[in-house]
C-alpha cells in the first residue's frame, strides 16, 4: 500500500492573500508545495491530501488539479473551526483554527494508509521523502511505530532574524524522548543560540536535531487525536487563541508508552521563507539544485 502525503495548507490563504498569489520560487512558476509533491511522487507516495480552509478551496483546486491530474491521486479536506465533537459548541468569537493536530484529525476519513505530514510552505528535500517512505515499508510490531524527520539546527536557521524550533532529545535507538520548544533562536557571533525567558543568551552546539513538522503516522493515530482533542477542548474551549499542536499528541503518546517515534535524520537542507529577506536565498537554492541535476527546469512538463 502506497503511503499518502498530508499537506497542512489551511493557513496559506491569509499568508499569501490567496492561493494564486503563492510565492513562485521555481523557474517555471513552481511553489514550494510543487516541489514537495514532486519529491513525494518520486519516493513512491500514491496520494496527496490537502488540508485547506473553505475560503481557498476553489482557488486551490484550480491551481493544483490541472498540474497533478494523472500524476498522483488528490483529495481535499477542510479544517473547519466550528465543527467540533459532540458535546462541544464553538465559541462565536473563535476565529483562529484549532491547531496542527486538529488539522491532521480533519483528514481522518480521507486516509486509510500510512501517511507523512508536512507544512505547506517548507522545503524538506528529496531524501526526506525517501527516508520516511522506507520507514513505512518495515514490519511493525508491538506498540505503535511512528516517526519524524529531523534536521540539524544549523540547516534551519535564517540569517535574517529569530526563529522558534522544537529541539529533539532521543535515546540510543533514536527513539524520541521529548521535543523542547525554543524561541528566539538566531545566528550570533559565528554560532547559534537562543534567548531564554529571562533574556539570557544560551549557546547551542549547532548539531542539535530539530523538528520541522515532518511526521510519519499510521491511521491508528486518529483515535488518539480524537480523544486528545476532546481533552484539549475540555480545558481550552473558551481560550480564544488556544491551539492543539502536533507536539502535544506526540508527547502524550510517548509519555503513556503508546507509541515510539523514530527520529530519522535528513542531510538535506531545509528552507522556507520565514522572512521576506529569505526569498532570494530560497530561489538561489532551488536554481542550484536544478543545475546539479536534482530537479528538471519544469517539474510538471
Q: What is the pLDDT of residues 277-294, one digit of tens each?
A: 888 999 999 999 999 999
Domain count, the chain: 1
Strands (E), the chain: 4-8, 47-52, 73-78, 115-119, 122-123, 144-152, 163-170, 176-188, 191-195, 201-204, 209-217, 259-265, 271-272
Which structural domain, as residue segments, surrounds residue 241? Answer: 4-291
Q: Is 183 contained in some domain?
A: yes
pTM across the whole model: 0.92
Q: Tell whether 99 is covered by a domain.
A: yes
CATH of the domain at 159: 3.90.550.10
pLDDT of res. 13? 66
Tell me, yes or no, whether 272 lies in a domain. yes
Is residue 173 assigned to a domain?
A: yes
Reading the block at residue 172, the C-alpha cell is 540510543
Residue 203 located in a structural domain:
yes
Q: Any idea which of 35-44, 57-66, 272-281 has the lowest mean pLDDT? A: 272-281
Check whether 15 has a pLDDT greater than 70: no
Q: Decide if 103 is inside a domain.
A: yes
Amino acid at each position: 500500500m502506497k503511503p499518502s502525503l498530508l499537506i497542512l495548507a489551511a493557513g496559506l490563504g491569509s499568508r499569501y492573500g490567496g492561493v494564486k498569489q503563492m510565492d513562485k520560487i521555481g523557474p517555471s512558476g513552481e511553489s514550494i508545495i510543487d516541489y514537495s509533491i514532486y519529491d513525494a511522487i518520486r519516493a513512491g507516495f500514491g496520494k496527496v491530501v490537502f488540508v485547506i480552509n473553505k475560503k481557498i478551496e476553489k482557488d486551490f483546486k484550480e491551481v493544483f488539479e490541472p498540474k497533478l491530474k494523472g500524476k498522483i491521486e488528490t483529495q481535499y479536506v477542510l479544517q473547519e473551526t466550528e465543527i467540533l465533537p459532540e458535546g462541544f459548541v464553538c465559541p462565536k468569537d473563535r476565529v483562529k483554527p484549532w491547531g496542527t493536530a486538529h488539522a491532521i484529525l480533519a483528514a481522518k476519513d480521507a486516509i486509510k494508509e500510512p501517511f507523512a505530514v508536512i507544512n505547506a510552505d517548507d522545503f524538506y528535500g528529496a531524501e526526506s521523502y525517501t527516508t520516511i517512505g522506507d520507514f513505512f515499508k518495515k514490519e511493525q510490531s508491538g506498540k505503535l511505530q511512528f516517526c519524524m524527520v529531523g534536521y540539524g539546527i544549523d540547516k534551519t536557521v535564517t540569517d535574517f532574524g529569530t526563529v522558534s524550533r522544537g529541539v529533539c532529545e532521543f535515546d540510543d535507538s533514536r527513539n524520541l524522548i521529548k521535543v523542547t520548544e525554543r524561541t528566539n533562536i538566531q545566528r550570533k557571533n559565528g554560532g547559534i543560540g537562543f534567548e531564554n525567558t529571562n533574556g539570557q543568551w544560551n549557546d547551542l552546539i549547532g548539531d542539535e536535531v530539530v523538528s520541522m513538522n515532518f511526521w510519519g503516522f499510521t491511521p491508528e493515530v486518529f483515535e488518539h487525536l480524537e480523544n486528545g482533542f476532546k481533552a484539549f477542548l475540555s480545558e481550552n474551549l473558551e481560550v480564544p487563541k488556544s491551539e492543539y499542536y502536533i507536539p502535544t499528541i506526540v508527547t502524550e503518546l510517548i509519555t503513556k508508552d503508546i507509541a515510539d517515534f523514530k527520529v530519522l535524520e535528513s542531510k538535506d537542507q531545509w528552507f522556507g521563507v520565514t522572512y521576506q529577506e529569505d526569498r532570494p536565498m530560497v530561489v538561489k537554492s532551488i536554481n542550484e539544485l536544478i543545475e546539479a541535476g536534482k530537479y528538471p527546469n519544469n517539474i510538471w512538463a
